[in-house]
């Protein structure tokens, strides 16, 4: 019980929020507390000025007034200062002690005045003490310990003194005072409990708000941050681009957008696993972060693609130098837990100079520059130019013409022979697509094929070209072979392949004499789907030829896992083969590889007798190139077959 009573008279220092709330509330009540105390004391001094000694009516209350004024000044000076927790506890505990001292002093002074004066003056003493203690309890409501100390310091002497006077009126006043103060103390406890609960609720509410804010901040961070690399993500990049571009337009200053694509990432990811691929992306992000500052913003856009926002006044030459530095950093070897991987980064930049600008349009320009870099300067930087703008316009024109074209009439097929140089016989022909448009004239195959892929017309175009190729092939003597190229879209489209198989069946051409040519890059785009679809073709007796071998993302692991009948060595190894010993070594290696895995090896692109002689010495016998025949219409293929048959006979 003693501990409980003692606990009521001590400030709870373990609750910082409650301490600060008590201090704040009490600071607002201090002026009223001392104002009430001083006015009551002045009134009592005046009623006893003539009857009591000056020491009691003037000097002693003056000292009490001075103490009250000092306390008011101290609290007034510190009312708006932030008070540390420890100091706040000391202030409140000091208030408790001082409340007891002042309570006893004022009580002793009032009781000392009681013997002086008439009955009215004595009644004023009783009224003064009752009024003062009630006022103090109200003013000290938020500091329960101080209120209880004042109550005890006043009520106990008051009750004992007036109950012992023997006067029925004063005894009744003492008894009444006990009841009233008891009720006040009950109200004090109730109010203090509610006050404490309120502070606790506020504390819990603040904690919940902080938790909610932290969760909101974390959600915002995750929504705008790539979880693997800790770089801003595509959403953040778009938002930052909109913000910075708007500022650049408003301030009439330049800005550039860059898109980076890692060349050779997919083979690393497929060969060594996703964990190694993730580590490579994290390291690539770290390297890109080396270039970030207030003016350069880097983000991961998705997969192996990253974005840059260059918010600085850089001309095309400076952008190219920055891009070269970025690409050089990405070309350094990646050391991935015992694995050394080598990739490169192609970078496309687009600049906003002045005037109005559109973020989506600027991004598309950068994407086109990236495409141009991957096609023509892989591992390098391309800055979007007026020439690229004209190329985009031309592409748009081609797209529109392709969509409205009569493909059945405008598309046709030419054929280029591949020869067995040991027997000089034509083994077959590769079908080559051609498009002649009334407005555009003859459009290059690589151009209109990309257009068909953009427009979603690749499947339709492939079916038309394949049907035309088969119409010609059925006229050839057996077993003349037909090679037909499939695009990246065709390889992963099961519906397109099923359409081609239906056309093949209707044509009557022997599937054993058909090869579908696919490029390494097309297969690697989605290797598993491509392999499954190629196996579907194999089951029908169709051969698979890997075209342009050595120029894409080839690896022996992929070559071994693909159902290949034929490998075609790219023409880039043939151009300078007479003077380039390295090219000869590469070709010899590929020829040996084909022999070891049971594939037919075909060499493309020879144009001279010298090249043919060198290739034959290296073990190549099946060749295709201008030296043996340029692409020709079907009638010339029939003439050539007849001619070669006559020579062989």
Nearest to 462 by CA among 439, 437, 438, 488: 488
- What is the C-alpha separation between 31 and 606, in angstroms, rounded? 105
- Within 13 Å, how many C-alpha atoms sit on residue 78's CB side? 17
The alpha-helical segments, DSSP class H, found in 598-633 are: 609-617
Phi and psi, residue 395, nearest 5°: -60, -45
Token pair listed for 581: 């010993």
Residue 518's DSSP bridge partners are: 546
Of 498, 520, 604, 607, catalytic: 604
The packing angle between helices 274-289 and 265-272, to 10°, is 140
CA angle 595, 600, 602 (to 5 degrees): 115
Token pair listed for 354: 């002045």
Instruction: Judge contact between 281 and 304, C-beta under 8 A.
Output: yes
- What is the C-alpha separation between 245 and 371, in angstroms, rounded? 23
Nearest to 421 by CA among 585, 628, 587: 628
- What is the C-alpha separation between 12 and 521, in angstroms, rounded? 74
- Within 13 Å, how many C-alpha atoms sit on residue 23's CB side? 28
Cα–chain-centroid distance for residue 174? Answer: 75
- What is the C-alpha separation between 17 and 285, in angstroms, rounded? 45
Nearest to 553 by CA among 357, 295, 261: 261
Instruction: Judge contact between 144 and 10, C-beta under 8 A.
Output: no
- What is the C-alpha separation between 203 and 83, in angstroms, rounded? 18
- What is the C-alpha separation between 472 and 634, in angstroms, rounded? 6
Instruction: Judge contact between 240 and 297, C-beta under 8 A.
Output: yes
Active site residue 610: no
Residue 305's DSSP bridge partners are: 261, 302
Token pair listed for 425: 């016989």
Question: Distances in Å between the alpha carbon of 185 and those of 127, 134, 148, 368?
Answer: 19, 10, 8, 82
Q: Which helix (H) or strand (E) holds 529?
A: helix 527-539
Nearest to 91 by CA among 17, 22, 191, 194: 22
- Pairing type for strands 334-336 and 339-341 reads antiparallel
What are the residue numbers of the active site? 604
């Amino acid at each position: 019980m003693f501990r409980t009573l003692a606990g009521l008279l001590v400030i709870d220092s373990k609750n910082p929020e409650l301490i600060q709330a008590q201090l704040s509330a009490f600071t607002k009540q201090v002026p009223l507390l001392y104002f009430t105390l001083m006015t009551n004391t002045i009134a009592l001094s005046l009623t006893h000025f003539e009857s009591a000694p000056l020491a009691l009516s003037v000097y002693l209350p003056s000292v009490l007034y001075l103490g009250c004024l000092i306390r008011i000044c101290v609290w007034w000076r510190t009312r708006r200062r932030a008070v540390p927790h420890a100091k706040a506890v000391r202030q409140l505990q000091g208030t408790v002690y001082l409340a007891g001292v002042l309570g006893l002093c004022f009580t002793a002074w009032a009781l000392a005045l009681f013997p002086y004066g008439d009955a009215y003056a004595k009644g004023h003493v009783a009224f003064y003490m009752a009024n003062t203690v009630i006022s103090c309890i109200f003013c000290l409501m938020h500091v329960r310990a101080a209120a209880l100390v004042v109550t005890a310091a006043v009520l106990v002497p008051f009750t004992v003194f007036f109950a012992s006077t023997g006067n029925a009126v004063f005894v009744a006043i003492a008894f009444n005072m006990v009841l009233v103060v008891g009720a006040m103390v009950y109200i004090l406890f109730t109010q203090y409990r509610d006050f404490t609960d309120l502070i606790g609720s506020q504390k819990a509410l603040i904690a919940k708000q902080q938790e909610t804010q932290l969760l909101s901040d974390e959600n915002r961070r995750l929504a705008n941050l790539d979880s693997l690399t800790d770089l801003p993500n595509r959403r953040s990049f778009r938002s930052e681009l909109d913000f910075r571009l708007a500022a650049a337009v408003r301030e009439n200053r330049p800005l550039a957008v860059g898109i980076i694509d890692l060349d050779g990432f997919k083979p690393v990811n497929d060969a060594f696993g996703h964990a190694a691929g993730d580590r490579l992306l994290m390291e690539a992000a770290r390297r890109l972060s080396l270039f970030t500052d207030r003016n350069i913003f880097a983000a991961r856009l998705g997969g192996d693609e990253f974005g840059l926002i260059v918010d600085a006044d850089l001309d095309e030459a400076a952008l190219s130098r920055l891009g070269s530095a970025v690409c050089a950093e990405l070309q350094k070897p990646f050391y991935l837990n015992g694995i050394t991987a080598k990739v490169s980064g192609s970078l496309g930049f687009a600049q906003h100079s002045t005037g109005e600008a559109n973020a989506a349009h600027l991004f598309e320009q950068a994407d086109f520059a990236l495409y141009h870099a991957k096609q023509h300067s892989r591992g390098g930087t391309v800055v979007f130019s007026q020439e690229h703008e004209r190329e985009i316009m031309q592409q748009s024109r081609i797209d529109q013409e392709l969509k409205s074209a009569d493909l059945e009439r405008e598309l046709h097929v030419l054929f280029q022979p591949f020869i067995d140089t040991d027997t000089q016989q034509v083994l077959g022909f590769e079908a080559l697509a051609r498009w002649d448009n009334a407005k555009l004239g003859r459009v290059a195959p690589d151009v209109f094929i990309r257009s068909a892929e953009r427009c979603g017309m690749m499947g339709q175009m492939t079916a038309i070209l394949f049907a035309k190729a088969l119409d010609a092939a059925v006229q050839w003597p057996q077993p003349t072979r037909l090679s037909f190229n499939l695009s990246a879209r065709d390889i992963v489209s099961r519906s397109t392949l099923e359409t081609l198989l239906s056309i093949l069946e209707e044509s009557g051409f022997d599937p054993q004499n058909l090869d579908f040519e696919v490029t390494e890059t097309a297969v690697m785009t989605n290797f598993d789907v491509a392999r499954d679809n190629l196996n579907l073709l194999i089951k029908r007796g169709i051969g698979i030829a890997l075209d342009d071998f050595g120029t894409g993302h080839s690896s022996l692991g992929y070559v071994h896992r693909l159902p290949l009948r034929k490998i075609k060595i790219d023409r880039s190894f043939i151009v300078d083969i007479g003077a380039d010993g390295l090219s000869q070594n590469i070709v010899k290696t590929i020829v040996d590889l084909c022999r070891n895995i049971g594939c037919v090896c075909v060499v493309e692109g020879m144009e001279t007798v010298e090249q043919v002689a060198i290739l034959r010495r290296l073990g190549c016998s099946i060749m295709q190139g201008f030296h043996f025949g340029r692409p020709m219409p079907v009638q010339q293929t029939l003439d050539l077959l007849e001619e070669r048959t006559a020579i062989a006979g």
